[in-house]
Chains A and B, each alone.
Chain A
């Protein structure tokens, strides 16, 4: 269980995250929504410890994550994979190497620097790529791929970390609707199959409704909504997104990226079939 208690983060005068209290059970698929600047991104970065909280504590399965440092911190970061809006791959390295970089914390630094990978590690990387349906790009430079492909490489890298939690910071904000769907489907698939907890920041309501079992709404650094997608009423949306006086001011469509034609008809799911039964 991932527990966040009274976590506050201040940048100078401004308070990005204000006394947030959350408990996320294992295997949950959580969507965090809110306007930009609501503190969603800061919250996720604090969980991964890319940013340190100013106050409060974060713990995972009894380990106080927010107090870790050095090698222990890096081990936590390995267990808590992160996916970024801008993919954050190494553009000049090939896709396979990028995926293998997910193994960095599993191995000795010397072997890493010499890029000596075992056959099994490479097989795993290929399997992860195949699962995301981009194995054919394995030898291309990551920078030459399209955004959607790059994000899938990033997910493959996250899988290589063998994480317990995946944090996704706006994973589909830079993608076109088609690719957004593929990426979200992958995340949902990983959550469903491996039972990995997924916490994802989303800026679109309907995506959150569609994929997440639990939605957390944030506004001005505080959690203002926490519940199942069905409980997300217009009033709740108004609390999250503010709106100019009237709840109806935010039609669902504004924050939607979905496309009308169903991409994946029921019963036909070849795309995300795992390469190997894992």
Chain B
């Protein structure tokens, strides 16, 4: 069948021409965008490769060597490292000194070192999330345009939260490490401050979308600002707030692990040390523990969020 182009009216021809024009422009944009991305990516990789200690193609065959380095001397070593049981290979070096890390609760009962450190990390995350929730909760109402009529206050609170959110966590941790020298407080401070900013931003967006009728009703009854917020807004937004806080908890467990690795204590530090010292069984034990914990926290949080706000829980927060 031969295809004959249909005869078009004047209007049809105009539309056809316009469509062609649009198509050409769209294609141009697409090609331009792709070209830009290719160039940007190429440049990025070249730059990354140039400024890296090892070169990509030199190192590529060896990148996954670490898997080989992770094989312990026998399968049981993993459990010995995890539960601080004595190792038959103990030669007095740090590599096999599992029982030395035991944290004794009573004379004979102990918490294995890594589980104790994992608990430390989880508690850092939990405390930070609670602190961040509390302060973010207070701040968000001051940042919401439907509750705070003073422009300057809103502006100030919003910028303040943005700075808290963007402020590099590592600097806060480093500063408090310099002052306090050790302990979990630097990590708690760093993670909490970021959490205040991140949750505050999410919270005030929720508040701004809240239904204001109840608030108006209470205003007409002579309630003051605090009472209006507490009774009219909080009941509406609390499930969403809690859902965001749980998401934040997931993120904070990871964040406090990382902060730990740069000196904040907890499991992160143990991991960094054992990887850098090539203690295969210890590394494997920590990775396993961390993996299970993160999966467990994620599952728990997802379950709770689903209960709180139903299926709209699948959001992500920064």
Chains A and B directly touch (beta carbon < 8 Å) = yes
User: Which residues in A have their C-beta under 8 angstroms from that of B42?
Assistant: none
Q: Is the CB of A109 within 8 A of B235?
A: no
**Interface residue tally of chain B, by bracket?**
10 to 19
How many angstroms between the C-alpha atoms of A179 and B220 in the bound complex? 23
User: Which residues in B have their C-beta under 8 angstroms from that of A207?
Assistant: none
Of B214, B221, B235, which is in contact with the most chain A CB atoms at under 10 Å from its CB?
B221
Among residues of A, the one whose C-beta sits closest to the C-beta of B233 is A90
B28 to chain A, nearest CB (A): 43
Among residues of B, the one whose C-beta sits closest to the C-beta of A107 is B227
Interface string of B11-32 (1 = CB under 8 A from A): 0000000000000000000000
Given A93-B231, A113-B227, residue A102 in contact with residue B214 (CB < 8 A)? no
Q: Is the CB of B223 within 8 A of A105?
A: yes
How many angstroms between the C-alpha atoms of A41 and B178 in the bound complex? 62
Q: Is the CB of B230 within 8 A of A88?
A: no
> Any chain B CB within 8 A of the CB of A82?
yes
User: Which residues in A have their C-beta under 8 angstroms from that of B226?
Assistant: 109, 113
In the A-B complex, the 9 residue pairs with the smallest Cβ-Cβ separation, listed nearest first, are: A88-B217, A78-B222, A82-B220, A105-B222, A77-B222, A92-B235, A74-B222, A88-B213, A104-B223
Interface string of B201-238 (1 = CB under 8 A from A): 00000000001011011111111101100111001100
Q: Give the residue of B211, B213, B227 whose beta carbon is less than 8 angstroms from that of A112.
A: B227
Determine chain B's interface SS by DSSP, over half rule. helix
User: Which residues in B have their C-beta under 8 angstroms from that of A84?
Assistant: 213, 216-217, 220
How many angstroms between the C-alpha atoms of A112 and B235 in the bound complex? 14
Of A82, A104, A158, which is in contact with the most chain B CB atoms at under 10 Å from its CB?
A104
How many angstroms between the C-alpha atoms of A109 and B218 in the bound complex? 13
Q: Give the residue of B214, B224, B227, B236 whose beta carbon is less than 8 angstroms from that of A88.
A: B214
* Number of A-B pairs, beta carbon distance below 8 Å: 80
Q: Is the CB of A90 within 8 A of B231?
A: yes
> Any chain B CB within 8 A of the CB of A199?
no
User: Which residues in B have their C-beta under 8 angstroms from that of A81?
Assistant: 220-221
Given A93-B231, A112-B227, A113-B226, residue A77 in contact with residue B221 (CB < 8 A)? yes
Q: Is the CB of A101 within 8 A of B220?
A: no
Q: Is the CB of B223 within 8 A of A92?
A: no
Q: Give the residue of A75, A86, A109, A154 whose beta carbon is less than 8 angstroms from that of B227.
A: A109
A121 to chain B, nearest CB (A): 14
> Any chain B CB within 8 A of the CB of A91?
yes
How many angstroms between the C-alpha atoms of A82 and B214 in the bound complex? 12
11 A/B residue pairs, CB under 8 Å, sorted by A: A50-B216, A74-B222, A82-B217, A84-B217, A84-B220, A87-B213, A88-B220, A90-B235, A92-B236, A101-B221, A113-B227
Q: Give the residue of B211, B214, B216, B223 whose beta carbon is less than 8 angstroms from that of A74.
A: B223
Given A78-B221, A82-B220, A104-B218, residue A90 in contact with residue B232 (CB < 8 A)? yes
Q: Is the CB of A113 within 8 A of B230?
A: yes
Q: Is the CB of A157 within 8 A of B222?
A: no
